[in-house]
Amino acid sequence: MLLADVIGHPQAKRVLQNAMAEDKVVHAYLFHGPAGVGKTTLARAFAAALLCGQGVNDSCGKCSVCKRVAQDNFPDFILVSPSGNNIKIDQVRELQKGVQYKPYEAGKKVYLLNQAESMTTEAANCLLKILEDPPPDTIFLLTAVNQYNLLPTILSRCLSIPLSRVPLAQIEQMLLKNNLGDPTTAALTAALSDGLPGIARLMAESGDGLVARELVFDLVERLTTGKINELLKTAEELEKRKEILPDILEQLLLWYRDRLIWLQTMQESLIVNRDRLNQIKECSGIVSKEDLVRSVKVILEAKNQLNRNVNLRLILEVMLLRLAGTA
Ligand SMILES: [Zn+2]
């Protein structure tokens, strides 16, 4: 993909393109921002631009180098991703061996370390050694959700490229351009993606986002009535939808967010679930702002616990019982 074709991130693209045009590319970059924001997409487009050599500040997208970089099949482009949960020491040792060799075909070599924050301590220390004495003609591109999960000594050796959420209209356009849904679904998916093109794409491709959304509004109704038996049954049902549970919680959060925003601003344009505006207006005033804030916290807590290996059913039950009556 061309840098120019990556959606969003105008500032980051400008920094990268200026560096290429002015021959001021540094040896390590860290792309950081929320999951799905486009870190790897941008890093990969930058890698192609560095290796292609046909353009001043972008790749051509057509030559054999560009095509092979896109297919992970170019010897001077090395992608390192977590093996299991971590980037392990063996993977970085291999990289350490590799950097001693000159580029094969392009004038330089590019290493892309995906989810660099997943490096084990040993792996991180080994990478640090490499970055302290950077080999010539070698560029390291790291991605991380949270830059502060990396060793400060690694951070200080990378040029930071912060990426923030992409305007929803651009995500909607991207979905339509890629035939990922009709105009109505594309608009809704873009809104639900919360400015994260990768998430929008996943939701559009899997249809999970829309399934999760249906379930959320079903859940909201049950929470309104707040019958304990019903809620326990819901927890049991949700436990079975484990694969889309993160989506469900995300959308439940959006529901509470919308209601808080409405209570505070009364601005329709700020509401994500715009097709539910009547419902949002109707329940505004019934539940206090404090209760809504508390509910958001309850969901965030459940979200955090999901990431650890705690009893799933228990988390869901506690969450639903605490949310009862606030939906
Ligand atoms: Zn090219």
Q: What is the pLDDT of residue 190?
A: 87
Range of the domain at 113: 3-162
Question: Which run of H or of E encompasses 161?
Answer: strand 159-162
Alpha helices in 148-244 (DSSP H): 152-155, 168-177, 183-192, 197-206, 208-225, 228-240
Q: What is the pLDDT of residue 39?
A: 96
Q: CA-to-CA distance for 188 and 270, rounded, in angstroms?
A: 14
Average pLDDT rounded to a whole number, residues 54-82: 94
Look at the chain and count its residues: 327
Token couple for 267: 């601005």
138 and 81 in a single domain? The answer is yes
304 and 201 in a single domain? The answer is no
200 and 156 in a single domain? The answer is no
Tell me whether residue 211 is in a domain: no
- Centre of ligand 1 to C-alpha 61, Å, is 5
Burial (0-12, 13-18, 19+ Cβ within 10 Å), 79: middle
Any idea which residue has 């995500």 for tokens?
171
Tell me whether residue 181 is in a domain: yes
183 and 283 in a single domain? The answer is no
Tell me whether residue 189 is in a domain: yes
Identify the residue with better confidence: 209 or 15. 15
Burial (0-12, 13-18, 19+ Cβ within 10 Å), 208: middle
- Centre of ligand 1 to C-alpha 62, Å, is 5
Average pLDDT rounded to a whole number, residues 213-223: 86
- Centre of ligand 1 to C-alpha 317, Å, is 54
- Centre of ligand 1 to C-alpha 75, Å, is 15
Select from 129, 162, 195 the last residue of a domain.
162
230 and 190 in a single domain? The answer is no
Q: CA-to-CA distance for 183 and 190, rounded, in angstroms?
A: 10
27 and 131 in a single domain? The answer is yes
134 and 61 in a single domain? The answer is yes
Contact of 139 with 44, CB cutoff 8 Å: no
pLDDT band for 41, please (50, 70, 90 cuts): very high
pLDDT band for 287, please (50, 70, 90 cuts): confident
15 and 132 in a single domain? The answer is yes
* pLDDT tens readout for residues 242-285: 888 888 898 898 889 889 889 888 888 777 787 788 888 888 77
140 and 201 in a single domain? The answer is no
99 and 148 in a single domain? The answer is yes
- Centre of ligand 1 to C-alpha 200, Å, is 28
Tell me whether residue 83 is in a domain: yes
Q: CA-to-CA distance for 107 and 320, rounded, in angstroms?
A: 58
Contact of 35 with 199, CB cutoff 8 Å: yes
Is the pLDDT score of 49 beyond 80?
yes
Any idea which residue has 């379930």 for tokens?
215
- Centre of ligand 1 to C-alpha 267, Å, is 46
Q: What is the pLDDT of residue 214?
A: 81
Tell me whether residue 174 is in a domain: yes
pTM for the whole thing?
0.71
Type of residue found at 19: A
8 and 116 in a single domain? The answer is yes
Residue 31's SS3 state is strand
Select from 162, 194, 224 the last residue of a domain.
162
Contact of 60 with 52, CB cutoff 8 Å: yes
- Centre of ligand 1 to C-alpha 65, Å, is 5
CATH code where residue 65 lies: 3.40.50.300
Question: Which run of H or of E encompasses 159?
Answer: strand 159-162
Find, among 172, 177, 173, 206, the residue nearest to 192 by Cα.
172
Q: How far apart are the first and last CA of the chain?
A: 43
Strands (DSSP E) contained in the chain are: 28-32, 77-80, 109-113, 138-144, 159-162
What is the number of alpha carbons within 13 Å of residue 134 lying toward its C-beta?
18
Contact of 313 with 295, CB cutoff 8 Å: no
CATH code where residue 222 lies: 1.20.272
187 and 115 in a single domain? The answer is no
- Centre of ligand 1 to C-alpha 52, Å, is 4
Number of domains in the chain: 3
Tell me whether residue 126 is in a domain: yes
